[in-house]
Structure 1
Amino acid sequence: MILTVDELTRAARAMVVARPGVVRMRSVEESRAGRPLWVLSVGRGERQVLTVAGAHANEPVGGMSALALAEEFVRDPRVLEEWDCTWHFLLCLDPDGAALAERRFAERPTLEEYYRGFYRPAFAGQPEFPPVEADPRPALPESRALTRLLDELCPVVQFSLHGVEAGGSFLQLTRPVPGAPDAFRAVVAELEIPLEHRPFDGMGWFVDSPGVLVRPDGSPADERDPSGYTSRSTWTYPLRHGTVSAVVEAPLWSVAAVSDPSRVADPGREIDRASELLLSRSKQLEEVLGPLADRPPRDPARLPFYTAARELMDISPGVVDTWTTHDARGLGDAGLATTVGNSVSLGIAARIIPLRAAAMMRGAFVEAATGTAAIKALDFLVSDWSRELDATFDARWVPVHRQTALHTRTMLRLAGQLLET
């Protein structure tokens, strides 16, 4: 079972009550809606480690992974003592987004169940990516809380726990960590989770080796997404303190084919196929919505769903342009769709972008009194596209305990690479 943020908080408090001399808990800020941002800390060492969970509302397992590792340290704190380490866990960076996305799943949910009620904020509402200083918009309170925490702790490593909807696992590092790629791949192999041979995310990052991306030396700290929003990532922010950030991705549904390193005969054709699919489905969604496409819901509680969905619908041409113009020279020469695995990842992305948009538009108009035909058509799209994604790629649910094991084992092994030297 996947815990809600309130359930995670109660479990953390119970841990503090049971072992008050070993574990502490504090609130470092409040969210936009006034929800506390809780940090759980274990150990008394001089060297600091920070784990950030719940950065994305649609990736609920990270908080459970953080709690699981904290519980492990409470039971046996010897490794923290050996490393002279204090380990801090920010249990949920975006509790407001999580509140909009939270729902109960079956033990083995389907993709369709996952997308019904789906929510992920628009780019500017994601706390790990505050706006650049030239942007007139202020940073979110959650973003400010994280950067202040990073300045306070100056951690050796910051772990950011994420979840891929469908695909495989991969790791992003803001600087090389000797031994980390092999340690990470060993964890993935132990858990029998597919490895993204050439991860689709982080197209501007250097492909260090299968499943591992490293931020290139001298690359700008700013990141620009397809919507045009430019941010200064909280992953790169603590480089000023010598901190390495490690982004650990665990799939909710695994797709074995993403790990296939076989060469593709015509990568351009694979990119064209994915591009055509993305654009055609985005167009289909516009047609289904009709007037609702440009008519925000009256209910302010439903507006975040509409805003995020509308943004996804608008970025499709920009995404396609990024795919078709990507230059991998100097980035490990791992071009898009050059392997079977990456062409599969591209095909998944082409389906997920419009599926997310359709699901959130359905969420925006869940209580709409007008546009009944459009609502029924949205229901059909979410159902049909979810099932097609599942059938096309043979997506297999990864049990929660294996998702958390991937996060926790990766954190322990990478921390060992950094703290035992």
Structure 2
Amino acid sequence: MRTSLYPAVDELERRARALVRAAPGLLRLGQVGESRAGRPLWLLSAGHGDRHILSVAGAHANEPVGGASALRLAALFARRPGLLEPLGCTWHFLLCLDPDGAHLAHGWQPEEPEPSLTECHRYFYRPAFARQPESLPMPPGKPLPESAALVRLLDELRPVAQFTLHGIEFGGAFVMMTREVPGAADDFRQTAARLRVPVDRHPVDGPDWRLDPPGVLVLPDGHGEGERDPSGFVAESTWFHPRRHGTLTTLIETPAWAVPSVSDVRPVTDPDREIARLSEVLLGRSRELTAVLGTRLEAAVPEDLAPLRDAARELLDVAPSIVASWAAEPPGRFQGHFATRGISARRIPLRVAAMASRALARTDPRAAEILDDLVREWSRELEKTYDLRWMPVAVQTGLHVRTMLTTARLVCGGS
């Protein structure tokens, strides 16, 4: 059987069971919950230390690299169990937090060495915010079953560290940490440099977090209510929940296609003009999508495709607030700052077109065809504008694995 570069959900379980068979005294696999559709949530555990570390993969359906990274590190422990001993920990891997979303997104596999950005987006799905399991509703809202399972696991394990493994389609690498760990930021940047992965100097994520440039965001002291990310992120999250146990949460973002210009430190002479130009890219493409879609996203679609419709509609609706948030930021000074926002301005409408096309494919094939043309056009424009460079999957997972290991050593005091 061919091994996928990005393992599908069922393949994650199959490969995890093979690892357990190869290292039965070290590794074990158990179920820790179910998804909304009744799919199992699998936890692969390595070692028998008193302290615990948890790695969470597959929190977003469009980011399959996390599962590949989890399997890679578990396989490393199976070959070299001595790596765990200095940490004094048991290391757990939640192989896919959103298996339902992963099933809807799965289909595209990169054909290295030259995969297609257009083909990648033919299978694209990123759930609407309320369907993302790392998000916890503000009380008295009821969490998703996947979210509740993760919270139970965090409260049971009380891990010293939680790593959440993310992957962006194109851009630069960065990390977000819920507290500062001396040496961790420099280790991450050195790892990225060795792997030749550009670091995003000023990510668009976490606008209220403290930036330690390049590429590191740290949660400010006293952070609570008021997260203002217009994409919907609020203070309640499975990232923040285990702070009551003293847990460090580190989000690691690695790109599939790297954009070197996100690291560019050359000065910008007219920041206001740059923001106005990029804002018009996002708003102009949003208007173009609105003209194509009209009321089509309000019409009925097959039940299995409704999540695609809902996600596309939500993302299109937040575009103006994203532009407003850029205008409210302190003026950027470097080319990399505007490269990151230019990527975001193009990523959002591309995602909308891709998901809306899939949602309408059966009920309105003509509209789906027009949207497919936009996916092709905008993908090509991205490749031309930003000189996208494919990162082999081994490099993507390498950034995850090395960052987890170096951070864990700092937190646990291992050598």
Which band: TM-score by shorter chain?
Answer: over 0.9
Task: Output aligned runs, 1:383-398, within 5 Å.
Answer: 383-398=376-391
Query: In the TM superposition, what is the alpha-carbon distance from 1:225 to its structure 2 partner?
Result: 4.5
Q: Mind listing any 5+ residue stretches in structure 1 that lack a counterpart?
A: 327-334
Change in 2 beyond 3 A, CA 1:79/1:227: closer
**Is the counterpart of residue 237 in structure 1 residue 232 in structure 2?**
no
Query: How far apart are the structure 2 equivalents of 1:146 and 1:129?
Result: 11
Task: Output aligned runs, 1:302-313, within 5 Å.
Answer: 302-313=305-316
| Alignment-derived partner of residue 180 in structure 1 | 184
Query: In the TM superposition, what is the alpha-carbon distance from 1:65 to its structure 2 partner?
Result: 0.3
| Alignment-derived partner of residue 87 in structure 2 | 83
Query: In the TM superposition, what is the alpha-carbon distance from 1:155 to its structure 2 partner?
Result: 0.6
Change in 2 beyond 3 A, CA 1:391/1:182: same
Q: Please give the secondary structure, in 2, of the residue aligned with 1:39.
A: strand
Kept in 2, the 8 Å contact 1:52–1:158? The answer is yes
Q: Please give the secondary structure, in 2, of the residue aligned with 1:252.
A: strand
Superposed CA RMSD in Å reads 1.4
Change in 2 beyond 3 A, CA 1:52/1:342: same
Query: How far apart are the structure 1 equivalents of 2:243 and 2:366?
Result: 52
Which of 110, 119, 127 matches 2:125?
A: 119
**Is the counterpart of residue 406 in structure 1 residue 410 in structure 2?**
no
Q: Please give the secondary structure, in 1, of the residue aligned with 2:254.
A: strand
Could you report, residue by residue, the CA deviation over 1:282-316 in whole angstroms, capped at 9, with x for unpaired residues?
Answer: 1100101233133241x100100000000011111
Could you report, residue by residue, the CA deviation over 1:217-271 in whole angstroms, capped at 9, with x for unpaired residues?
Answer: 1111564542667451111111100001000010010011101112211222111
**Is the counterpart of residue 353 in structure 1 residue 344 in structure 2?**
no
Which of 366, 373, 396 matches 2:366?
A: 373
Which of 93, 109, 128 matches 2:115?
A: 109
| Alignment-derived partner of residue 416 in structure 1 | 409
Displacement over 6 Å in runs of 4+:
none
Q: Please give the secondary structure, in 2, of the residue aligned with 1:322.
A: helix
Change in 2 beyond 3 A, CA 1:231/1:178: closer
**Is the counterpart of residue 30 in structure 1 residue 28 in structure 2?**
no
| Residue type at the aligned position of 2:312 | A
Query: In the TM superposition, what is the alpha-carbon distance from 1:375 to its structure 2 partner?
Result: 2.3
Kept in 2, the 8 Å contact 1:286–1:293? The answer is no
Q: Please give the secondary structure, in 2, of the residue aligned with 1:271.
A: helix
Aligned length: 408
Query: How far apart are the structure 2 equivalents of 1:51 and 1:22?
Result: 17
Kept in 1, the 8 Å contact 2:66–2:165? The answer is yes
Could you report, residue by residue, the CA deviation over 1:25-51 in whole angstroms, capped at 9, with x for unpaired residues?
Answer: 111000000011100000111111000
| Alignment-derived partner of residue 340 in structure 1 | 335
Task: Output aligned runs, 1:240-259, within 5 Å.
Answer: 240-259=244-263
| Residue type at the aligned position of 2:138 | V
Kept in 2, the 8 Å contact 1:158–1:246? The answer is yes
| Aligned sequence identity (%) | 53
**Is the counterpart of residue 325 in structure 1 residue 323 in structure 2?**
no
Kept in 2, the 8 Å contact 1:124–1:229? The answer is no
Query: How far apart are the structure 2 equivalents of 1:50 and 1:172?
Result: 16
Change in 2 beyond 3 A, CA 1:34/1:222: farther
Query: How far apart are the structure 2 equivalents of 1:190 and 1:363?
Result: 38
Change in 2 beyond 3 A, CA 1:29/1:189: same
Q: Please give the secondary structure, in 1, of the residue aligned with 2:84.
A: helix
Query: How far apart are the structure 1 equivalents of 2:149 and 2:235?
Result: 16
Change in 2 beyond 3 A, CA 1:141/1:254: same
Please, what TM-score do these two structures have when normalized by structure 1? 0.94
Please, what TM-score do these two structures have when normalized by structure 2? 0.95
Query: How far apart are the structure 2 equivalents of 1:143 and 1:336?
Result: 37
**Is the counterpart of residue 132 in structure 1 residue 142 in structure 2?**
no
